[in-house]
Structure 1
């Protein structure tokens, strides 16, 4: 297995596992502790966490069939960075109520957007 495929499939699996853990913690451990507003923020973090665990998996699968490219590697790292910043800041905001964390969240969103752009470029090049 190519090293990049192994790396991103492993990271995707760990990210998906962690998304299940934080999702279950939110559903069972925070259900009675957070008001609906903060619970919705937490759930948004979980939702995007799951989406981008699958995006990381796609990067790993593509790396099985595509030579390592800087764009593909960038997509994977941007998805991981976006998950940490976007979902992580929402998890912390929901649990602590520290408002400035909401200002950090869009940086994770930008990382997601850049990751999807890199992945689109990889797809475009694969088709040509």
Structure 2
């Protein structure tokens, strides 16, 4: 098990709950439907990838240490921070200049899943 990725996934899960409360109690009343939808896309991606990080961390117990798995985990964490973080900041600050970060985060997330697949396929399974 890679405790770092499990812990990062749990932290993202905790932040998901906090940001969900912010969405329901603050954002919903302050922004239009389009921005509220964007905020909720960020939420969905955050929880999906929090669980992905936990899966990566737990997979290490079965396939052992792997550069592929480590790269997948760090890219997933960074991609989540860039993707969801930029969307949160766009909605909360109104600064649309941050939108240039969002596609890099999305690309990092796609690549992280690809690296996760490679790690699983290449890694030796423990009996």
Q: Which residue of 88, 92, 102 maps to 1:91?
A: 88
Task: Could you tell me which runs of 5 or more consecutive residues in structure 1 were left unpaired when the two chains were aligned.
Answer: none
Gaps of 5+ in 2: none
- Residue of structure 2 in register with 1:108 after alignment: 105
Match of 2:70 among 64, 69, 73: 73
1:23 aligns with 2:24: no
> What secondary structure is seen at the aligned counterpart in 2 of 1:82?
helix
3-state SS, counterpart of residue 114 of structure 1: helix
Do 1:11 and 1:56's aligned partners in 2 also have CA atoms closer than 8 Å? Answer: yes
RMSD: 1.4
TM-score by length of 1: 0.92
CA distance in 2, matches of 1:51, 1:68: 23
Provide, for residues 80-102 of structure 1, a one-character-per-residue CA deviation record: whole Å limited to 9, x for no partner.
00111000000000111211111
Moved over 3 A (4+): none
Instruction: Give the total of aligned pairs.
Output: 125
The TM-score, its normalising length taken from structure 2, stands at 0.93
- Equivalents in 2 of 1:98, 1:29: separation in Å? 18
What's the CA shift for 1:8? 1.0
Q: How does 1:34-49 map to 2 (within 5 A)?
A: 34-49=31-46
